[in-house]
Amino acid sequence: FASATDDAMSLARAKLEDVFGYKGFRPLQGDIIDTILRGGDCLALMPTGGGKSLCYQIPSLVRPGTGIVVSPLIALMQDQVDALRDLGVKAAFLNSTQDRSTQDQIERQFAADALDLLYVAPERLVQERTLALFERADIALFAIDEAHCVSQWGHDFRPEYRQLKILAQRFPSVPRIALTATADERTRQDIIAELSLENARSFIASFDRPNIRYTIAELGSGSARERLWQFIEAEHSSDAGIVYCLSRKSVEETAAWLCSKGRKALAYHAGLEAPVRAAAQAKFLTEEGLIIVATIAFGMGIDKPDVRFVAHLNLPKSIESYYQETGRAGRDGEAANAWMAYGLQDIVQLRQWIGQSEGPEAFKTVQRQKLDALVGLAEMPGCRRQALLAYFGEMRSEPCGNCDNCLSPPHTEDGTIIAQKALSAVYRTGQRFGVTYLADVLIGTADERVLRNGHDRLSVFGIGKDVPVSTWKGLFRQLTAQGYLTGDDEGMGSLVLTERARPLLRGEERFLMRVTRPKSKVAKKRGAS
């Protein structure tokens, strides 16, 4: 029995070299492929560029039957399939952009077992017609790409993904692998529950991107565009990069402004005609030194290895978005910059959007918590990379030496005691309350809710009355950003302690807080990058 899988694994290595031309597996690829070849399910969390595709492509070549790949990125299917065909892999796709006769032809090829890989849009896959087709032939595996789309808390929720549960019911003996580059704990739990992956092995690659230097600056009264220009001129005078803005209008204006400064810059947002967007994307991929100024509409699935910088002129919506967007820099492993300048008005704006958005209150609450965590990351004085990785559940003992706070440490004070008070308040009130309530308890506001809960009798009631509310709120943001606290599962807005909080509560760890910077220091801060 063991020798059968050993044989399969040698075949997998042969395919890696002969078909794809690579010498060895990247971290986790070998273990994931081995698990699938033994018929097991997998959950693979790997950063963008980590090499997720091979994890299902190779087993599809080794196992009998066709590997079915579910992907929401219809626009990219043609390119993916063309690239595989160039390597001699028998690949095809099925989606709504094809006419009936093309679809019939591909279905016939599939039924005759003439395909190694078939890419299918999720809405297509869950149709009874497609499922029946699949039941008539051999399936090597199901790969569910961009699996975070099942999570309604995430930024890419796709209702059709919820129906993919049916795969486990209709094809219990076919291995399934879910893949994503979004890895917070909540999303992970959603994927496992929604795709019935309770028995899957989880593979979590390090999310560290050591070649990316993180810099986050609060603007004060300065102009974001001027700061951007100083940064680009100083560090990227002829490099390709992406500049993200919040609105279409500022995308257009910033692109025009960079052109007026003598750089080649193109605007990209969802309001532009499809051919205009396609042309901008094509130029970005082929021409050197082009800057794309874009809303978040740009970037999903773009594989340009030598993007040297990603700049944000506004705050993104969450740490997940920030990580995903900055992750488009430096995929070739060479040094790259993730640079962000934000103003306090960004926070106000994003909060308003969340408040006005449609959807249940619990959803908005989670969005607010995610925004708070990002603001916490922006405000914190310690190593950005440590915090970023801790947010995704990854501990790193040493500061990185390659972020603004490591390279030019901000003024800090010891916040251990105040952080302990904050965490104790969370604990003593039963981990059932949000920031505002917790601040009330700490400051000793005996309002009706506090009295009704009897929390005016707690030892933590009023222990923080010498500290302003804004400081407490900022502290809770920083504690969330650094993984000491997390949101509750139901989206009630409560803060809950994580494992990480224990050493801090026991006094085995110190917590540093940024000292609010006097106005005169704003100019000096530039030197950080």
Per CB under 6 A, 364 contacts ligand ADP: no
Q: In the range 405-434, which residues lie near Zn ion by CB under 5 A? A: 406
> Least Å distance between CB 116 and ligand ADP?
16
The alpha carbons of the chain give a radius of gyration, in whole angstroms, of 25
155 belongs to the binding site for ligand ADP (CB under 6 A)? no
Comparison of 301 and 399: residue with beta carbon closer to Zn ion: 399
DSSP structure string for 12-63: HHHHHHHTT--SSPPTTHHHHHHHHHTT--EEEE--TTS-HHHHHHHHHHHS
Return the residues of window 330-389 that contact Zn ion according to CB under 5 A.
383, 385
Euclidean distance between CA atoms 257 and 234, whole angstroms: 17
Site for ligand ADP (CB under 6 A): which residue of 22, 257, 353, 427? 22
Q: Of the ranges 21-29, 108-116, 252-260, 497-505, which one interacts with ligand ADP (CB under 6 A)? A: 21-29
301 binds, among Zn ion, ligand ADP, none (CB under 5 to 8 A by kind): none
Closest CB 319 distance from ligand ADP, rounded Å: 19
Q: What letter would DSSP give residue 165?
A: G
From the list 6-14, 96-104, 164-172, 399-407, the region that binds Zn ion by CB under 5 A is: 399-407
Stretch that binds ligand ADP, among 19-27, 79-87, 97-105, 212-220 (CB under 6 A): 19-27
Task: Kindly tell me which residue out of 32, 45, 52, 231 binds ligand ADP, with binding defined by CB under 6 A.
Answer: 52
- Cα–Cα distances (Å) from 445 to 293, 438, 440, 456, 465, in that order, read 47, 10, 5, 8, 9
Buried b (16+ CB within 10 A) or exposed e, 156-170: bbbebbbbbeebbee
Q: Does 29 bind ligand ADP (CB under 6 A)?
A: yes
Residue 39 makes CB contacts below 8 A (sequence gap 6+) with 173, 175
**50 in contact with ligand ADP (CB under 6 A):** yes
Indicate which single residue of 8, 11, 53, 220 sits in contact with ligand ADP (rule: CB under 6 A): 53
Tokens of 15: 């395919």
What are the structure tokens assigned to 228, written together? Answer: 């951007």
Q: Which of 12, 15, 25, 322 binds ligand ADP (CB under 6 A)?
A: 25
Rounded Cα–Cα distance for residues 72 and 146 (Å): 7
If one asks whether residue 51 binds ligand ADP (CB under 6 A), the answer comes out as yes
Cα–Cα distance measured from residue 18 to residue 14, given in angstroms and rounded to the nearest whole number: 6
Choices 22-30, 95-103, 437-445, 496-504; region in contact with ligand ADP by CB under 6 A: 22-30
Measured from the CB of residue 517, what is the shortest distance to Zn ion in angstroms? 19
Is residue 337 within 8 Å of 308, Cβ to Cβ? Answer: yes
Identity of residue 502: R
**Coil, strand, or helix at residue 291?**
strand
Residues that bind ligand ADP in the complex, under the rule CB under 6 A: 22, 25-26, 29, 46, 48-54
Residues that bind Zn ion in the complex, under the rule CB under 5 A: 383, 385, 399-400, 403, 406
